[in-house]
Structure 1
Amino acid sequence: MGWLYPFRPRPWADIAAEFRQLAAARPAYDHMAEVVESVLDSRAPLLGSTSLGDLIVVDRPVPRAPWGAVVVTGPWSQRAVMVPGWVRIEHVGTGGEVAERPVAEAVPLFWRFVTGKFGVLPAPQMS
């Protein structure tokens, strides 16, 4: 189970710029920009891409098909939650899992998925 087409990673700086621009125009994308910023801050060995406003994340190296991914669904995605102010994060692939929570929980929920599915931990946060 998983996607059968090649994964084409994008630079995290480009993904961050895209989501910052989306969030500036549509605040409903703020949590998406926050998730990407958390990846940049963590320097975790993750690869990312986007598809129609969704964030798609895999671990390194670039996976061969079929591959699994953690997907953070954007507010206007075809797969988006129906509850305003909530986010959907899912693991697509073997052992798939879906969770929907308030957007305030997007970053910790994303890292729960990434840690559970890929074994990648976020960097410790300095206070």
Structure 2
Amino acid sequence: MGWLYPFRSRPWAEIAAEFHRLADARPAYRPMAEIVDSVLGSGTVLLGTTSLGDLIVVDRPVPRAPWGAVVVSGPWSRRAAVAPGRVRVEHVGADGESDERPVAEAVPLFWCFVTRKFGVMPAAQVS
């Protein structure tokens, strides 16, 4: 399992600007901006992109297909049914798993998945 098309990463600063613009217009996107901010401040080697408002994250080097990813979705998502006030983090791949939590737990939940699936931990302590 996993995605079969090539992964095309985007600069984290560009992803951050996108989610901050979205969060300014729709506060439901605030957890996405917070997750991206935590990646920017972490010193990690993760690669990211977006798809219809979802955040898609992989580890370096750029994976060849089929590849797995950690995907973060919210109530706006077209790929995952997520209740208002919640965020869903899932690993899409051969050993896929997911968890949905209140938005206040978005950043720690994201790092839990990234650490378990990619072995990547933020350089700074993430709360």
Instruction: Calculate the TM-score normalised by the size of structure 2.
Output: 0.95
Moved over 4 A (4+): none
The alignment's C-alpha RMSD in Å is: 1.2
Q: Does 1:100 align with 2:117?
A: no
Alignment of 1:22-37 (within 5 A): 22-37=22-37
Match of 1:45, SS state, is coil
On the 8 A contact 2:72/2:88 being kept in 1, the answer is: yes
- CA distance in 1 between counterparts of 2:4 and 2:80 reads 22
Corresponding residue for 1:111? 111
User: 1:75 offset after TM fit, Å?
Assistant: 2.6
Corresponding residue for 1:88? 88
Corresponding residue for 2:67? 67
On the 8 A contact 1:54/1:72 being kept in 2, the answer is: yes
Aligned length: 126
On the 8 A contact 1:73/1:88 being kept in 2, the answer is: yes
User: 1:32 offset after TM fit, Å?
Assistant: 0.3
- CA distance in 2 between counterparts of 1:39 and 1:82 reads 23
- CA distance in 2 between counterparts of 1:125 and 1:117 reads 18
Counterpart AA for 1:89: V
Identical-residue share of aligned pairs (%): 76
CA-to-aligned-CA distance 1:41-77 (integer Å, 9 cap, x gap): 0020100000000000000000000000000013311
User: 1:80 offset after TM fit, Å?
Assistant: 3.8
